[in-house]
Structure 1
Amino acid sequence: MLTYMRPILLATLVAGGLIAADKYPSPRFADPRRTERLEAALPRIDAIMRAYAGEKKIPGMVWGVVIDNRLAHVGAFGVRDRVSNAPVTNGTAFRIASMTKSFTALAVLKLRDEGKLSLDDAVAKWIPQFARMELPTRDTPPLSIRQLLSHSAGFPEDNPWGDRQLSATDAKLDEWLNAGIPFSTPPGTRYEYSNYAFGLLGRVVTKAAGMPYEKYVRQEILSKLHMDETTFEFSDVPAARRATGYRLKPDGTYQEEPPLPHGVFGSMGGLLTTATDLGKYVAFHLSAWPARDDVDTGPVRRSSVREMAHLWTPANLTARSAAGVLQASEAGYGFGLRVSSDCRFAHIVGHGGGLPGFGSYMAWLPEYGVGMFAMATLTYSGPAEPISQAWDEMVKTGALRKRELPPTPLQTLMRDHILNLWKHWDDAEANSIASGNLFLDEPIEQRRMEIARLKEEVGECSRAGSVLPENWLRGQFNMNCANGAVGVFFTLAPTQPPAVQHLAFQKLASEDVRIGAPTGLPAGVACTQ
């Protein structure tokens, strides 16, 4: 038993290197067969995607599954055009429309990281017309780049109009800007999707980078991700690799949609890409998780990629899914990406795309290391619904689990001290690990008595599991006892060394406890009735 516990505890921390070494471990996947088990869902996923394409009468569609930063599978349906009837392949180029917005956001964040702009810069710094633009109220602050990125600039939703402006020229944009922009809501107060905002971001990138937006994206993002089959202009793609877009008319026949030429609004929806390249792109985003010490090797910092996937502008809270299933969800916008959570997954990131002739969707689950995308040759046919169903198929394999955070050495040390207190309470040892509030919130005598009462109720405890961290400073461990189980929950304070600010012992129903394994719902369990 330790006598002078505070000095010995601190000495243990320092001598063992626990303060500096591995105090912030990264979460990791526990199942060595994870990829193999997830891939068992691929045939069912293919069936879902083909059924969707057939039901929606899509002429041609391609989809891909990314697992652990690798394009694990590509599936295809139909033809790239209805004249040659050549099949869709992983090398067929589709226009991905608004999925381009995430590339624009990457470009802005890269320029921010390089010190060439600030997200809080007034838009007027880069687009002079904003300096004399009429704002909706006198107390409206100058519009910022951050607001353009997060669809919170107060511009009106403009999908019908914006989808036809892809080929607009710089002169046309200047004409619009000189005339002013009507606002639908006070800037900075709510979400409203704006293609115009991302068209303006293209001009910001051009000014800040000192080169055309398209050149900067190609040079600083596409080339560094080896996305060699991705471009802004239809004419850059050989006819033998280019998908033709169609509109389904009321009489059931198809009308070919002429490709929209690239223009100043390309930054909101102009890219064309292939399954091979889009797989690289989704893998790049997934590679930003978890936060870790590895050297950054991508074109944009991992922390900036994660910043894109934060929900900056809440949009809606719904009780039912698109399919009508009772399933609560929250959604909003990050920077160039949609961000949502539902009863299955706490963090879903992605974006859809739709233009005359095309529909696309990409999404990934950062904490689970998986992503999917699909591109189709039918107007506004973005396949979000079958991708959501694909997640359910992965859940059924039992392998779609979040990375597990290993306990820190400090958490393990605290567990050992707490076990000592459970076995043989000692005031000195208790005080040695307690922060100043612990025994002010509940006197030490009362805690000692409560533990004695609980020990009498549960009987002899045979073994204790390892710490199950909630984060680096909070966790629990469970004990198997003769008459049930006990969960021990503790939280460490923001002090050096961290001390215990909250400690609770709780009897648990045996069926709720898995010693040495996390408690709670498995991945993908929906809140449905």
Structure 2
Amino acid sequence: MSARIRWTLAVFALVTLSTHNTAPVSAQVAAAVATANPPAAFNDPNRRARLATAFPEIDKVVAEFMTRSHVPGAAWGIVIDGELAHIGVAGYRDLAARSPVTRDSVFRIASMSKSFAAMSILALRDQGKLSLDDLVEKHVPELKNLRYPTTDSPRLRIREVLSHASGFPEDNPWGDQQLSATEDAFSRMMAQGIPFSNPPGMAYEYSNYAFAIVGRIVTNVSGKPYRQFLSETILKPLGMTSTTLEPREVAADRMALGYRWEDEQWKLEPALADGAFGVMGGMLTSISDLTKYVGTLLAAFPPRDGAEGGPIRRWSLREMQQIWRSRPATVTRTAAGAVNLNSGGYAFGLGITQSCEFDQIVAHSGGLPGYGSMMRWLPSHGVGMIAFGNVTYTGWGGVVTQAFDLMAKTGGLQPRTPQPSPTLVASRDAVSRLIMSWDDQQADDMAAMNLFMDTSKDRRQKQIAELRAKVGSCRAPTTFDTVENWLRGQWTMTCERGDLNVSITLAPTMPPKVQFLEVRLAEPRSAPATCR
């Protein structure tokens, strides 16, 4: 029996109990607390079919982009609920041989590699081998004598190198040319010192150097080379058999060669070997392999009971996708000229933004000589897109934005809806009964200690009686209009001469009781607020 069915049966039983049982309200709420909280869920059973209607248009957008941007070859995929729902390929992986890109072609994904390093750190944290608040110098001795920019600067912690808050200077494209640096050369580089553009923990600034240090932490703490730890802990458990940090490990008939568009022609870019800086940008993978990775990060949502699937804890996967270093908000215009507000920051190896359309956008792009890539997904919607190209710094951002716009137009790109907890259902029913027929004992039973201190019981009873005089007798509801979370919701009571809107928030007590209650005459519903 699925968790959703179990929860549905539990709520049905609870509603039946609250309707026909005369037990005290507090007893009913206490019984509800013992029942598992339901996860947010999609309301439209046809959402995947709706989204699929956008795929042909998305393919056209990609084709136009390839022509406009001189991309020799590309592969792209749409991920829905952790599965590769659509894959597209076009052009050539090898221009000289006229070998086409296939669904198994392997591209370099550059800075998209960073989140794998972050996941490796969280795996070590989950194993109890380090803390994100450890000083970096604890695990990287070369940094013990690092000279900080001011005497009051804090010493660098692991969480700061994971979130581009290290204070090191932005180092694109310098970092791209460091991929093949040896471990010995990297040790000497660190021992010589690192200049700071800000004190640690003060501001966002993108640092490839910082993620090379992340790789060294993984190596020193695990006792294994970073490549080995990554393979054993992340790649193999996810079945990512085509993913590697070393180009020489990719079969020649699968490798997408990298090119530069220059002097009105494509020029082959020399392949960069793996080295100490490969942690930050050296990974190679295929669409099907990266789908498994993106699907795993998407599957961490929503929070729920049940078995953990790995390769790290489900909470750790969500932790990777939360803002840990904010960035200044930006205002842009859409292709149609509308103003759009974007805010966000950096998580652990991933960028996080919020727009007028989407509450949480998780993404990372990648660019190297010969390659450009993008992965972007919407945790609340269960949908993502991956795209690879084999021309220097292929810029996929606009294409992916258009793809999500096209899917939104189908009506299928809707977020999960929070589901009411059994506790919230029991409290809704208790409040509704009180509105229909006031009883002092029931009022005391459902109220948190503050409710009648904020507005006296007599005043609340009078206000509700005045509303009832206007609308007549009312019926108890069986649904919510809005569920914001497990402890807050709104509903409508249908009455003889109008409706009542009711809102409650439960208190942080056990059992949770009503700390906020508003009852008012229903008004015509207005359109949701927008930031446009």
User: What is the TM-score of this pair, normalised by structure 1?
Assistant: 0.93
**Distance in 2, Cα, partners of 1:372 & 1:266:** 24
Q: Once the two structures are aligned, what percentage of the paired residues are identical?
A: 45
Aligned residues: 511
- Report if aligned partners of 1:247, 1:256 keep a CA contact under 8 Å in 2: yes
Cross-structure match for 1:444: 457
**Distance in 1, Cα, partners of 2:334 & 2:211:** 27
Structure 1 stretches of 5 or more lacking a match?
513-518
Cross-structure match for 1:89: 102
- The secondary structure found in structure 1 opposite 2:270 is coil
- The secondary structure found in structure 1 opposite 2:144 is helix
Residue 401 of structure 1 aligns with an amino acid whose one-letter code is Q
CA deviation after TM superposition for structure 1 residue 482, in Å = 4.8
**Distance in 1, Cα, partners of 2:288 & 2:404:** 21
Q: CA distance change for structure 1 residues 325 and 444 in 2, over 3 Å: closer, same or farther?
A: same
- Report if aligned partners of 1:465, 1:478 keep a CA contact under 8 Å in 2: no
- The secondary structure found in structure 1 opposite 2:490 is strand
CA deviation after TM superposition for structure 1 residue 45, in Å = 1.5
**Distance in 1, Cα, partners of 2:141 & 2:364:** 30
Residue 421 of structure 2 aligns with an amino acid whose one-letter code is T
- Select between 455-464 and 196-205 the one with higher mean Cα deviation: 455-464
Cross-structure match for 1:486: 500
Matches within 5 A, 1:189-338: 189-249=202-262, 251-321=263-333, 325-338=338-351
- The secondary structure found in structure 2 opposite 1:244 is coil
Cross-structure match for 2:26: 10
Please provide the CA RMSD for this pair.
Answer: 1.9
- The secondary structure found in structure 1 opposite 2:90 is strand
Q: CA distance change for structure 1 residues 142 and 167 in 2, over 3 Å: closer, same or farther?
A: same
Aligned with 1:475 (options 489, 495, 500): 489
**Distance in 2, Cα, partners of 1:376 & 1:322:** 24
- The secondary structure found in structure 1 opposite 2:344 is strand
> What are the superposed Cα offsets for residues 247-293 of structure 1, whole Å, 9 maximum, x if unpaired?
111x3211211111111101100100011111111111111111111
CA deviation after TM superposition for structure 1 residue 453, in Å = 2.5
**Distance in 2, Cα, partners of 1:8 & 1:480:** 25
Cross-structure match for 1:118: 131
**Distance in 1, Cα, partners of 2:399 & 2:130:** 39
**Distance in 2, Cα, partners of 1:406 & 1:175:** 55
> What are the superposed Cα offsets for residues 313-364 of structure 1, whole Å, 9 maximum, x if unpaired?
0012012157564101102100000011011001011111000110000011
Q: CA distance change for structure 1 residues 398 and 322 in 2, over 3 Å: closer, same or farther?
A: closer
Cross-structure match for 1:403: 416
CA deviation after TM superposition for structure 1 residue 390, in Å = 1.2
- Report if aligned partners of 2:32, 2:426 keep a CA contact under 8 Å in 1: no
Matched, 1:175 2:156: no
Cross-structure match for 1:516: none
Matches within 5 A, 1:19-34: 19-22=33-36, 24-34=37-47
> What are the superposed Cα offsets for residues 415-448 of structure 1, whole Å, 9 maximum, x if unpaired?
1121112212222211110011101101122212
- Report if aligned partners of 2:24, 2:442 keep a CA contact under 8 Å in 1: no
- Select between 119-128 and 192-201 the one with higher mean Cα deviation: 119-128
Cross-structure match for 1:507: 521
Matches within 5 A, 1:62-77: 62-77=75-90
- Report if aligned partners of 2:429, 2:476 keep a CA contact under 8 Å in 1: no
Residue 115 of structure 1 aligns with an amino acid whose one-letter code is G
- The secondary structure found in structure 2 opposite 1:362 is strand
CA deviation after TM superposition for structure 1 residue 484, in Å = 4.3
- Report if aligned partners of 2:168, 2:198 keep a CA contact under 8 Å in 1: yes
- Report if aligned partners of 2:29, 2:512 keep a CA contact under 8 Å in 1: no
Matches within 5 A, 1:315-464: 315-321=327-333, 325-461=338-474, 464=477
CA deviation after TM superposition for structure 1 residue 496, in Å = 1.1
- Report if aligned partners of 1:464, 1:479 keep a CA contact under 8 Å in 2: yes
Residue 51 of structure 1 aligns with an amino acid whose one-letter code is E
**Distance in 1, Cα, partners of 2:71 & 2:206:** 26
- Report if aligned partners of 1:61, 1:377 keep a CA contact under 8 Å in 2: yes
Matched, 1:143 2:143: no
CA deviation after TM superposition for structure 1 residue 78, in Å = 1.1
- The secondary structure found in structure 2 opposite 1:340 is strand
- Report if aligned partners of 1:40, 1:397 keep a CA contact under 8 Å in 2: yes
**Distance in 2, Cα, partners of 1:494 & 1:463:** 26
Residue 263 of structure 1 aligns with an amino acid whose one-letter code is G
Q: CA distance change for structure 1 residues 321 and 211 in 2, over 3 Å: closer, same or farther?
A: farther
- Report if aligned partners of 1:313, 1:332 keep a CA contact under 8 Å in 2: yes
> What are the superposed Cα offsets for residues 201-242 of structure 1, whole Å, 9 maximum, x if unpaired?
111100011110011111111111111011111111111111
